[in-house]
């Protein structure tokens, strides 16, 4: 691994970021939009329900944590698809850059964007809804890390599919988080799902994190074994998706797909 080349990839995306207003927009607009929709809805529920839990904490906690997963699924894939749109993939991979260096570079820039989004969201939630994310305490650390890793695993899987099948499947970059969301129990407990959906939900690392978020909000203790299962699933999916990405990249290179589709 050459850190200078990793830095070059990060530098390239920093240049991209500076030159494109809509990238800045993307980092701040969508999370803000989600926050306000759910924030207003939470306030409304608080106002019409007597003897109720604090909906702001339940729903905004879910929205903020979901942002980590949502951004993680899209950021890296979007960076990747933009290289494809610009026909730049053969260019950058005709240099000594390795796939690992590329991955580390784009993950690095994704972390920076994620932190920017999160800090902005925390700030807005605190100012407009008196929601204090740091009240989640130490749980915030495994929850954000777990959700981010789950998003990256899915993202690499999608990138591999795009490498293999081209533009026709790129819609999954934007759709995958929406497809996973109902099964992740972001805003309702696992028991609210039909039995068949609960079975699917148990295979998602995200489900355990949101289930425990609600336990925490209701003053119950965090189930460490749930967090362990979530991280275990993340590890399995992470290894599989990276392996799948490398394998598909090699295949795409051998078959000339890097040039063919783009």
Partner 1 sequence: MSPQLTVYENLFVVAKLYRVIDPKQKIQEYAEKFGVTEFIRWPTRKLSAGQKTRVSLVKAFVNEPRLLLLDEPTASLDPDIALYVRKEILEARKRGMTVLITSHNMAEVEEVCDQVLFIHRGKLIARDTPEGLASRVRKVHVNLMMKDGQKRTLAFAKKAGFRATHQERFVTIDVDEEDIAYLLASLADLGVSYKSIAIDKPTLEDFFVQASTKRSHL
Complex with partner 1: residue 15 or 188, whichever CB lies closer: 15
- Nearest distance from C-beta of residue 195 to partner 1, angstroms: 49
> Which whole-number Å values give the CA distances from 145 to 69, 230, 247, in the listed order?
9, 11, 26
- Nearest distance from C-beta of residue 81 to partner 1, angstroms: 13
- Nearest distance from C-beta of residue 232 to partner 1, angstroms: 37
Complex with partner 1: residue 49 or 88, whichever CB lies closer: 88
Complex with partner 1: residue 178 or 259, whichever CB lies closer: 259
Query: Where along the sequence are the contacts to partner 1 (CB under 8 A)?
Result: 2, 4-5, 7-9, 11-12, 15-16, 19-20, 86, 88, 91-92, 95-97
> Which whole-number Å values give the CA distances from 242 to 58, 86, 255, 256, in the listed order?
33, 24, 20, 21
Complex with partner 1: residue 41 or 262, whichever CB lies closer: 262
- Nearest distance from C-beta of residue 126 to partner 1, angstroms: 34
Complex with partner 1: residue 13 or 74, whichever CB lies closer: 13
- Nearest distance from C-beta of residue 106 to partner 1, angstroms: 14
């Amino acid at each position: 691994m050459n850190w200078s080349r990793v830095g070059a990839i990060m530098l390239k995306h920093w240049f991209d970021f500076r030159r494109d207003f809509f990238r800045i927009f993307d980092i701040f607009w969508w999370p803000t939009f989600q926050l306000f929709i759910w924030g207003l809805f939470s306030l409304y529920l608080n106002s019409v329900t007597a003897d109720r839990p604090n909906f702001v904490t339940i729903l905004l906690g879910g929205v903020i944590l979901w942002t980590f997963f949502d951004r993680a699924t899209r950021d890296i894939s979007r960076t990747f698809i933009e290289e494809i749109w610009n026909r730049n993939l053969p260019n950058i991979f005709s240099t000594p850059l390795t796939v690992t260096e590329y991955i580390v570079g784009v993950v690095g820039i994704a972390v920076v964007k994620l932190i920017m989004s999160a800090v902005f969201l925390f700030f807005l939630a605190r100012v407009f809804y008196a929601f204090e994310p740091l009240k989640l305490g130490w749980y915030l650390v495994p929850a954000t890390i777990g959700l981010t890793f789950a998003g990256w695993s899915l993202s690499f899987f999608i990138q591999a599919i795009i490498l293999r099948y081209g533009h026709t499947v790129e819609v999954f970059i934007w759709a995958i988080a929406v497809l996973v969301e109902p099964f992740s129990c972001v805003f309702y407990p696992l028991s609210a799902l039909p039995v068949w959906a609960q079975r699917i939900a148990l295979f998602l690392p995200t489900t355990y994190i949101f289930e425990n978020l609600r336990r925490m909000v209701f003053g119950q203790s965090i189930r460490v074994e749930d967090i362990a299962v979530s991280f275990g699933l993340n590890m399995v999916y992470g290894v599989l998706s990276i392996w799948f990405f490398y394998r598909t990249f090699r295949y795409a290179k051998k078959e000339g797909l890097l040039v063919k589709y783009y």
